[in-house]
Amino acid sequence: MYKNIAYTRFYMLCGFFIIGASSYIMFRKNKRLPLVNSIVHEQTKKMLIENNICKKHLGEKLFFPNQTIGAKIGEEAEFEFKALGETGKYAVAQVKSTFNEKSLEWVIHQMEVGIFDEKGVKITREAIKTALK
């Protein structure tokens, strides 16, 4: 009887260990990482500053709040952030990108920028499609 109970407990312990280890690996692999002040965030801010349409509507000086909505999960990043202009208008940029492990660089697949006035009414929307290296 004790031998049968020992076998059952041993296999239960092994099962719990395997389930726990695989859960930990899945958690670490699919963990959401913040992108504030990361390389891809700085690249997209630079693209927004250099864009002529954004300069026309928002002005030369842009203020970027220190927050993003979205995160990096695995090798993909999907996030959005705001840029406040000196004219009182603001822009919301939505970015989709991936990290290339071989070259250790971010590739921005899509960036859409919506420009809003002081009341929150959308003025214009621009899609910037590019592949940065």
Please give, one letter per residue, the 3-state secondary structure of 26-84.
Answer: HHHHCCEECCCCCHHHHHHHHHHHHCHHHHHHHCCCEECCCCCEEEEECCEEEEEEEEE
Quote the pTM value: 0.73
Specify whether the CB–CB gap between 53 and 42 falls below 8 A: no
Mean pLDDT comparison of 14-18, 66-70, 99-103, 111-115, highest-scoring range: 14-18
Q: Closest Cα to residue 38, out of 108, 90, 130? A: 108
CA of 60: how far to CAs of 52, 102, 122, in Å? 10, 36, 20
114 closest CA partner among 67, 51, 46:
51
Tokens standing for 123? 């003025």
Confidence bin at 127 (pLDDT 50/70/90): low
Give the 3-state secondary structure of residue 126. strand
Span 101-105, mean pLDDT? 89
| Average predicted confidence (pLDDT) for the chain | 87
pLDDT at position 122 is 84
On the question of pLDDT at 119 being above 80, the answer is: yes
Residue range 11-54, pLDDT digits in tens: 999 999 999 999 999 998 888 888 888 899 999 999 988 888 88
pLDDT at residue 128 above 70? Answer: no
Q: Is the pLDDT reported for residue 131 higher than 70? A: no
3-state secondary structure of 25: helix
Residue 96 is given by DSSP the state E
* Secondary structure element (H or E) that encloses residue 17, with its range: helix 2-29
